[in-house]
Structure 1
Amino acid sequence: MPTPKFILELREKIGHDLLWLTGITGVVLNDNAEVLLVRRADTGRWSLVAGILEPGEQPALALVREIHEETAVEVAVERLLSVEALPPSSYPNGDQVQFLDLCFRCRPLRGEPRVNDDESLEVAWYPLAGLPPLTPRELTSIERALSATSTPALPGLEP
């Protein structure tokens, strides 16, 4: 999926300066102890499904949209796992961003995973016991999704 129109319009005004955006991430777990992952077209690495909240969207509904757009899997959002500010980062074109990310646990309802847009090279269910290399943050998100704790994590406030 191309860069959303609202971001392109903001970039016309602010150039490559730091842009604060709301990100959404989904930990989709099935009954076979597997997690839904995508192999990103931009980096080639496996990751959780993630996207950007568009103006006027509710976060959980936006995540349902993103997961379906990227994987063709329909999901139900079960609970909020965390709210955290991610470190600033830059894209190859020089655009600087920082995300406030809302991470949710989801369960699949229907649909077979497949590449459904140009953001992914592959889509697959991975057994929790045999995950490909993921970032520490993604592994923590999976741990939170598997936890019985229903209180969302708020990094920075832990004792």
Structure 2
Amino acid sequence: MATPQFIVDIRARAGAILLFLPGVVTVVFDETGRVLLNRRTDTGRWALISGIPDPGEQPAEAAVREIHEETGIRAVPERILGVFTNEPVIYGNGDRSQYIDIVLQCRAVGGEARVNDEESLEVRWYAPGALPPLSENDGMWIERALREDPAWFAPAAPPASWVGSLETGA
């Protein structure tokens, strides 16, 4: 995965410390209901199209840009599927990152699916019933999009300081 220049600049100053970064993940459907996937250069695995927003870039803008940069497909975001924080990742060089991902369902409106940059080994449309092996999260987001579930986020437990006041109603 190509590292955005702003992260390279931060790493030059901060070293390998854990960075908490934004991310976008997209579930892109074509007019026949197929899902757009890429086989990633960094892992060799099939995945949903994803990336990191640039500073000042809205998540939907980042999604549109990432989809086109990686696959040649033009798409429009239609709804938020969810927001979640991933487990921390440790890269081969020792850098550590943790991503808070905004997952967007998108509709393809043009272009031809192809490898369009160095981040993908292959790009392909898949029928939902014939998907290659995917991460648990990617499979979950596709299922939620197909069911048209409402946006998902992890529920929040009340802070420990509230526990007594919740029990007494104070």
Q: Percent identity?
A: 48
Preserved CA contact (<8 Å) 2:31 2:108: no
| Alpha-carbon offset, residue 157 of structure 1 | 4.8
Q: Does the alignment pair 1:155 with 2:154? A: yes
| Structure-1 residue corresponding to 2:132 | 132
CA distance in 1, matches of 2:121, 2:135: 18
SS at match of 1:50: strand
SS at match of 1:53: coil
Count matched residues.
157
Superimposed CA distance per residue, residues 101-149 of structure 1 (whole angstroms, 9 cap, x where no aligned partner): 0000000000110000000000000111110000111011001111233
CA distance in 1, matches of 2:8, 2:43: 21
| Alpha-carbon offset, residue 75 of structure 1 | 0.1
Aligned Cα root-mean-square deviation (Å): 1.4
Superimposed CA distance per residue, residues 5-24 of structure 1 (whole angstroms, 9 cap, x where no aligned partner): 11011001110110110000
SS at match of 1:37: strand
Superimposed CA distance per residue, residues 46-101 of structure 1 (whole angstroms, 9 cap, x where no aligned partner): 00000001100000011100000000000010000001011101111111000000
Q: Which moved more, 1:66-75 or 1:138-147?
A: 138-147
CA distance in 2, matches of 1:65, 1:101: 16
User: Runs of 4+ in structure 1 displaced over 2 angstroms?
Assistant: none
CA distance in 2, matches of 1:30, 1:50: 17
CA distance in 1, matches of 2:59, 2:2: 20
Bigger fraction of residues in helix: 2
Tell me the TM-score normalized by structure 1. Answer: 0.95
| Structure-2 residue corresponding to 1:34 | 34
| Alpha-carbon offset, residue 33 of structure 1 | 2.6
| Structure-1 residue corresponding to 2:141 | 141
Unaligned runs of 5+ in 1: none
CA distance in 2, matches of 1:127, 1:86: 26
| Structure-1 residue corresponding to 2:50 | 50
CA distance in 2, matches of 1:104, 1:152: 10
CA distance in 1, matches of 2:144, 2:152: 8
Unaligned runs of 5+ in 2: 158-170
Q: Does the alignment pair 1:114 with 2:106? A: no
Letter in 2 for 1:58: Q
CA distance in 2, matches of 1:145, 1:42: 26
| Alpha-carbon offset, residue 31 of structure 1 | 2.6
